[in-house]
Amino acid sequence: MINLAATANRVLVTGGAGFIGSAVCRYLVGESQVEVLNVDKLTYAANLQSLASIAKNPRYRFVQADIADHGKISALLRDFKPDAIFHLAAETHVDRSIDCAAPFMQTNVIGTYTMLDAVGAYWHELQSGRRHQFRFLLVSTDEVYGSLGKQDRAFNEQTPYDPSSPYAASKAAADHLASAWHRTYGLPVIISNCSNNFGPYQFPEKLIPLSILNAMDGLPVRVYGNGQNVRDWLFVEDHAQALVQIMRQGKPGEKYNVGARNERSNLSVVELICDLIDELRPTSAKRRSLITFVTDRPGHDFRYAIDPSKVERELAWCPRETFEAALRRTVCWYLENPSWWQPLRQNIYSGERLGIV
């Protein structure tokens, strides 16, 4: 059981019906005694079924709201009186940002500004003890740093920002806003930048869940370009634990890069998924035969890699799962939980290619 009592009794999570946000909510409710308010707009990638295991817990509450609605956010802050905020609400899919960048600017930039402005006013009115203990954690991405070459060193907290996609640019803007609110107004902001997350409950437009479901259904398993683009993979449950540790022990004004040192090419990840499904649901044809190379994503970053030394050294965090064990858990979860993903495939996203210029 984790102890957040020293810093927080009430925690507000934005985007808590999303992939990472729901993992944070489940972890907080399951492993601590804090009260959790989940604020989510419920856009296409949000799913309240991801929170079914905690939905009836008296320490958990959900409110549907847009983080860009200043009046609503201010009212929720006054009503709930949080001691800490995990700000995860965001549009996150690069391909969708290529198709239409406007929602990314509205949520990731304007939404983050609205949160900072409303939270700043709320924080300013707190009594001195609670003001001192209060924290605002902005959860960001390694994509703000741009692309690495094969021989480049991994991203660290001093790496200059160089975003390539509209999504990455919108998250970079959010990071800069949060940093400015700390420097100008003193708001106790912490920023975390994570590598690619994967695990159960991930909306099936991202590489790993899309590859799992297509391989299960005997459909083409698409790989961009030649499949040699490299990502650093982080199991979502490990990430949730890292975020709670950052909230507990991180220092306002600091940045923490969170990664698991799991660099893999996209092709190698997809091949491992195919092999796992062959093992768990064997058929006469090998799933690797479904792998199909398609035209590369515009502006596709070649490699991401996180150096998590700071969070390991200063906050004593390290991932609990190996990549292989976590991927097996993920594949098994999708095999065993069609009631979660089938409605999404049928009604929201059937697996079509996105982000074509």
Are 15 and 88 a contacting pair, CB within 8 Å? yes
The one-letter code for the residue type at 106 is: Q
Task: Count the neighbouring beta carbons within 10 Å of the beta carbon of residue 315.
Answer: 18
DSSP state of 352: -
Among 143, 175, 263, 271, the one annotated catalytic: 143
DSSP state of 163: -
Judge whether 142 counts as a catalytic residue: yes
Judge whether 263 counts as a catalytic residue: no
SS3 helix, strand, coil % of the chain, rounded to 5? 45, 15, 40
Among 35, 40, 66, 142, the one annotated catalytic: 142
The tokens 């990664």 sit on which residue? 259
Among 167, 224, 256, 334, the one annotated catalytic: 167
DSSP state of 306: B
Judge whether 238 counts as a catalytic residue: no
- List Cα–Cα distances, 247 to 74, 94, 136, 188, 244, in angstroms: 22, 27, 8, 11, 5
Q: Interhelix angle for 323-336 vs 207-217, to 10°? A: 50
List CB contacts of 88: < 8 A, sequence separation 6 or more. Answer: 13, 14, 15, 16, 18, 20, 21, 24, 139
Report CA 6 to chain centroid distance, whole Å. 26
Q: Which residues are catalytic?
A: 142-143, 167
